A and B are shown apart, each in its own frame.
Chain A
Amino acid sequence: MNLAEGVQIVSFGLLGLAMIGAALGVVLLQNIVYSAFLLGGVFISISGLYLLLNADFVAAAQVLIYVGAVNVLILFAIMLVNKQEDFDPIIGRWVRQGATALVCFGLFSLLGVMVLQTSWSSSTSGAKPAVDTTVLLGEHFFSDFLLPFELASVLLLMALVGAIVIARREYLPEEIVSPQQQPPLTLPERARQPIAISAGTSSSPQSTSE
């Protein structure tokens, strides 16, 4: 074992510990803002793992997109959520929790079986580190992965249009329920407010926070 391998093993262990710890914090912490910031830590650790695998462009893209954009989006979504309201307790909550646990355990065991049954040695022994992975990625994008590349743009277009359509609901619901008659919220969701941004009656933070 030379020095590079030792550095690799140590940094892999550190990154794995940081990632698992941050992921546990995401799940277990009560404050959702802490969870969002720890999720950024998880993403950064994954980017470090990409660096260890000589995938420098993927690591940079991971930091750029996940930490810089997706995590900011999650934080903005948290900022959109109102402060804590009193919700009715969900009936049959343990059934939902049990189902969630079952699904999560099933996914975990599926991934575990996949990891154990894959013969990793054949794929890593003869692999030569690429000189410049970005150039290789570009060549693959525009030769044999052209269709997924173009489909990615269509997917981005769909995401953009759909997000705009959902976020800017340009209609008022037909029956506007007055706040006194509203039934108590049952799901952990905020009540849908009628908004019409295009009509100029936007909801400012001052008017809604009361």
Chain B
Amino acid sequence: MFVLSGYEYLLGFILVVSTVPVLALTASKLLRPSGRDPETRTTYESGMEPKGGAWIQFNIRYYMFALVFVIFDVETVFLYPWAVAFHRLGLLGFVEALIFIAILIVGLVYAWRKGALEWS
């Protein structure tokens, strides 16, 4: 059986949100001057002139942060049902969740000691 109840607000949000970029782009297209001189075609109209290609190799630290974020994101998603059903689970569920967190804190300590969380 299919119950799509309670999703009316989500549907409304999707409708409103999908009209925002359309409205913004069409409004700016209607309002802006249509003349095109080469100065407006530059990337930064009043800034520095960009040189070279845009596709450069980024620092690997961005990747490290994203990686650590993925791990703890998954952990948070696993802990959310525990928090919702906390009153039904009792003390045993609390201890089990503590074991779960303790195993992952080992990883956090390892990442911290190895300096994966530092930017410098």
Contact = CB atoms under 8 A, between A and B. Distances in A.
A205 B3 CA distance: 52
Interface string A100-139: 0000000000000000000000000001110010111111
Main secondary structure of the interface of B (DSSP, over half): helix
A134 B2 contact: no
Interface of A: 4-5, 7-8, 51-52, 54, 57, 61, 64-65, 68-70, 72-73, 76-77, 79-84, 127-129, 132, 134-139, 141-142, 146, 149-150, 152-154, 156-157, 159-161, 163-164, 167-168, 195, 197-198, 202-205, 208-209
A204 B59 contact: yes
Contact of B81 (A80, A141, A168, A205): A141
A164 B57 contact: no
A67 B3 CA distance: 25
B77 A61 contact: yes
Interface of B: 1-4, 7, 52-53, 55-64, 66-71, 73-75, 77-78, 80-86, 88-89, 92-93, 96-97, 99-101, 103-104, 106-107, 110-111, 114-116
A69 B84 contact: no
